[in-house]
Structure 1
Amino acid sequence: MISKHTSAYRGVLRELRRSIEPSRKVNTSIVSHFRCVVQSYRESKDPQILVDLDNATLLLRSQREHKRLLERYNPLFDLTAEERIHATARRVGLDMPVLHKKDTS
């Protein structure tokens, strides 16, 4: 049977893996920090660690969901200011004029 500490630790690691971009790996220092925290609390027999780990898991899950909802319902959030203006103009049926660039010669 898996201990409560181990399952909470695995839950945090699972959310860490899900929260990062697919092309990147989980930072080993974050994993080792969580491992040290769980190990130290396991030895002290403090029940508060389970609550803290559950809260960390919930925070990671909520951040991931928030990012997903932003991408879904606000497609302009990751654009530059100029790209956002062009996209907004296109949304209402307008095209931005092509700006004339001065020749320095």
Structure 2
Amino acid sequence: MSTANLTRLRSVYRNILRELPPRPLLASPPAPLHKRIRDNFREMPSDSSTAVAHAEEFLNYLRAQRTYVQLIERYNPSIDMDEEERVRLTARRVGMDLPPEFMSDKSGK
């Protein structure tokens, strides 16, 4: 494997690891996904230009997934709310308040 190709491969490997969720402690054993990625990079053939291209495609996929999740969280802030809170905020968005009989005891009103 040429040194330029090896350098490129290491760069892609590091970037892939940066895109994955971080491990809680470096002393903890690596996750199965980390092991699998490391094993795949170790077993690459000597003429790995196609393998590097596939690894770069995987890196682009991981980046796109991270961006997608960020956009979902930004433009759908009510995705992790319960139904009652979502209804209340939807009513507020159009300038209305829910009647008192629909308010729960949790809201304190």
TM-score range, shorter chain: 0.7 to 0.9
Paired residue secondary structure (2:80): coil
Structure 1, unpaired ranges of 5+ = none
Residues 3-22 of structure 1: CA distance to partner in whole angstroms, max 9, x if unpaired?
222111111001114xx6xx
**Which runs of 4 or more aligned residues in structure 1 lie more than 6 Å from their structure 2 counterparts after TM superposition?**
none
TM-score, normalising length: structure 2: 0.70
In structure 2, the residue matched to 1:6 is 10
Residues 18-68 of structure 1: CA distance to partner in whole angstroms, max 9, x if unpaired?
xx6xxx639621111100011111x45332211121111111111111111
| Residue pairs, 1:1-105, within 5 angstroms | 3-17=7-21, 25=24, 28-41=31-44, 43-97=45-99, 98-99=101-102
Aligned-partner residue type, residue 28 of structure 1? A
Residues 65-100 of structure 1: CA distance to partner in whole angstroms, max 9, x if unpaired?
111122222222222232211111111111223338
* Equivalent-residue separation in structure 1 for 2:92 and 2:43 (angstroms): 56
TM-score, normalising length: structure 1: 0.72
In structure 1, the residue matched to 2:107 is none
Alpha-carbon RMSD: 2.6
Structure 2, unpaired ranges of 5+ = 105-109
Aligned-partner residue type, residue 78 of structure 2? L
